[in-house]
Amino acid sequence: MDEFNKIEKDAIGSLNRIIDQLEYERDYYECDITMEYSPFEEDVKLFCDNFISAYLANDEKKKAFDLLVRLVNVMAKNECEMYEEDIFRPTELLTYYFAKIISLSNGSLKNRIHNWMYSFTKENEESLIANDYFRVFLEGKLIYHADKYYTNYADYKKVLSYYKP
């Protein structure tokens, strides 16, 4: 259990660093022509692959959900400063992880995630995150991009296409 406690501590530290940089450093989420991915895109991917995956492997789905919600709320708050291309990969990846948690969950957590997504889309009607990703997912439409950013997820297409309202 000590190993998972260290993972939890590292996850919260990583999330706090992402949030801090997202709120205070504009160049953090911008990608120039010399970069394949912005530092924000890379950090979100590493955070999800290293920590959210670890939570799921340890059957800590509720904690994984809570961390993702925290990150999405900060992204939405700062979205007006970003361009669509700055957020589409991280948001799509976060949608995948929400869907992954739903696919592994029982009724109460599954309902909680759906309810949160519906509330988020209603409260953030002007948000690209809400309209272009969560609403589309909740409508049962496929969200899928063939991009190297997602190549290590064998179940990516299946997870994002399973939900039907």
**Which residue range forms the structural domain that includes residue 102?**
2-161
- Give the model's pLDDT for residue 13: 94
Residue 129 in this model has a pLDDT that exceeds 60: yes
- Distance CA(98)–CA(92), nearest Å, equals 10
Residue 125 in this model has a pLDDT that exceeds 90: no
Q: How confident is the model at residue 24 (pLDDT cuts 50, 70, 90)?
A: confident
What sections of 48-106 are H helices per DSSP? Answer: 53-57, 61-78, 84-104
- Residue 77 buriedness (CB in 10 A; 0-12 / 13-18 / 19+): middle
What sections of 105-148 are H helices per DSSP? Answer: 107-123, 128, 135-138
Q: At 150, list the tokens.
A: 């997602």
pTM of the predicted structure, to 2 decimals = 0.86
More confident residue, 67 or 32: 67
- Give the model's pLDDT for residue 115: 93
The total number of structural domains in the chain stands at 1
How many Cβ atoms from other residues are within 10 Å of residue 96's Cβ? Answer: 23
